[in-house]
């Protein structure tokens, strides 16, 4: 699971991003990850672009994906989000045995913004999932938030199809 975030919209973020680095999944402190056993991501900031590359693994089964976005800086204007980017999706790795798979045009539309001086990256993702009951439009709000000491990162996802948030905790790789 490698998430590579390449971009804070403000040059000050790029120089000293607290989100930058490689992060490893902490199963004991997180929502169930099945069918995966491992999730690693790397965050890197480069100008106003953020590239997110993730890697999921379970035994010999692996999945990676990547996307590049340009988040807005929330302090510029409350409620501002960056440009919407359309990203091709080959597999929806967040299935968790739900019987939901990527549907529609097999893309997701993602927009983002920086909050709290670059300490939080918020993404809003819209996609269509295919289920036994038919296709369903889904919105996922994802907050990537680093701890005050920079050693832990919490990814909180609020999905329009779930009442409870999905919370994944990561530790910084040495």
pLDDT at position 53: 87
**Residue whose pair of structure tokens reads 């893309």 in the numeric block:** 107
As a whole number of angstroms, the distance between CA 100 and CA 93 comes to 10
CA 104 remoteness from chain centre: 21
pLDDT tens, 100-134? 899 999 999 999 999 988 889 999 999 999 999 99
pLDDT at position 79: 52
Between β-strands 85-88 and 152-159, what pairing exists: parallel, antiparallel or unpaired?
Answer: unpaired
As a whole number of angstroms, the distance between CA 36 and CA 25 comes to 11
Give mean pLDDT, residues 148-162. Answer: 94
Its pTM stands at: 0.85
- For 19, the token pair is 């989100």
> Residues with Cβ < 8 Å from 144, sequence gap 6 or more?
3, 5, 19, 43, 120, 121, 122, 123, 153, 154, 155
């Amino acid at each position: 699971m490698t998430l590579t975030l390449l971009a804070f919209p403000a040059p000050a973020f790029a120089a000293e991003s607290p989100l930058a680095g490689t992060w490893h999944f902490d199963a004991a402190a997180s929502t169930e990850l099945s069918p995966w056993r491992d999730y690693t991501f790397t965050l890197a900031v480069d100008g106003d672009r953020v590239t997110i590359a993730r890697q999921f693994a379970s035994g010999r089964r692996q999945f990676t994906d990547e996307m590049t976005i340009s988040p807005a800086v929330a302090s510029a204007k409350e409620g501002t989000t960056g440009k919407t980017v359309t990203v091709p999706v080959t597999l929806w790795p967040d299935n968790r045995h739900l019987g939901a798979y990527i549907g529609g045009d097999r893309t997701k539309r993602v927009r983002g913004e920086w909050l709290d001086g670059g300490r939080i990256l918020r993404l809003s993702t819209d996609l269509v999932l295919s289920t036994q009951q038919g296709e369903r439009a889904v919105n996922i709000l994802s907050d990537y938030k680093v701890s005050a000491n920079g050693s832990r990162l919490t990814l909180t996802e609020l999905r329009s199809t779930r009442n409870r948030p999905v919370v994944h905790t990561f530790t910084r790789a040495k």
